[in-house]
Amino acid sequence: MEGSKKITIEILQNDIMKGVKSNSYYVGEARKDQQGMLETASRLQASDDEDDILIKFIKSAASKLCNLLTKTMGDSSYMLTNAAPLKFIFTSNAVANFMDSQKGALTVLMQDYMENTCLMDWMATNKPDEAKWFFDKIASISNEIRIISSHRSKPSLS
């Protein structure tokens, strides 16, 4: 794309995994206090035993995020590295006046998007009525990504 610049953002798979397990733990703990929810609460808490399915959900989240980036920033792609530490590398062809100062905020939002998408899939598998909260959170994060992606630096008179 003429007048574009390449934006590259890296997100560690392990950071997503830690966020998913931490959040699912707190959701489960919150449900333990509810009458008759002890068994369900323990199922909501993702552990190392569920890594295979969580990785599947994380990869799906990366694909969905890439589609969102394509809609909001321009042609985007991602890859998952094969060497440790495993990381997702997202590349987008943004407009030339995309504000580089927004890259840090965009990185945080992208990680949050992936965590919450994975958590939504996890909750949908274990207790579907819990997934709605994460779905709503993803919608909010998606909107924030759209806003950040549309920030432009002001043209200068040179």
Q: Tell me whether residue 96 is in a domain.
A: yes
Q: Tell me whether residue 43 is in a domain.
A: yes
Kindly tell me if the per-residue pLDDT of 31 is higher than 70.
Answer: yes
Q: Tell me whether residue 44 is in a domain.
A: yes
3-state secondary structure 23-34: HHHHHHHHHHCC
Give tens-digit pLDDT for 58-103: 999 999 999 999 999 999 999 999 999 999 999 999 888 888 888 9
Which residue range(s) make up the domain with 70?
A: 4-150
Kindly tell me if the per-residue pLDDT of 155 is higher than 80.
Answer: no
Helix (H/G/I), strand (E/B), else coil: 12: strand
The count of structural domains within the chain is 1
Q: Tell me whether residue 157 is in a domain.
A: no
Q: Tell me whether residue 69 is in a domain.
A: yes
Kindly tell me if the per-residue pLDDT of 1 is higher than 60.
Answer: no
Q: Tell me whether residue 156 is in a domain.
A: no
Residue 89: what are its φ and ψ, rounded to 5°? -115, 110
| DSSP summary character for residue 49 | G
Strand order in the sheet with 4-12: 4-12, 87-95, 76-80
pTM for this entry: 0.90
Helix (H/G/I), strand (E/B), else coil: 50: helix
Q: Tell me whether residue 158 is in a domain.
A: no
Q: Tell me whether residue 65 is in a domain.
A: yes
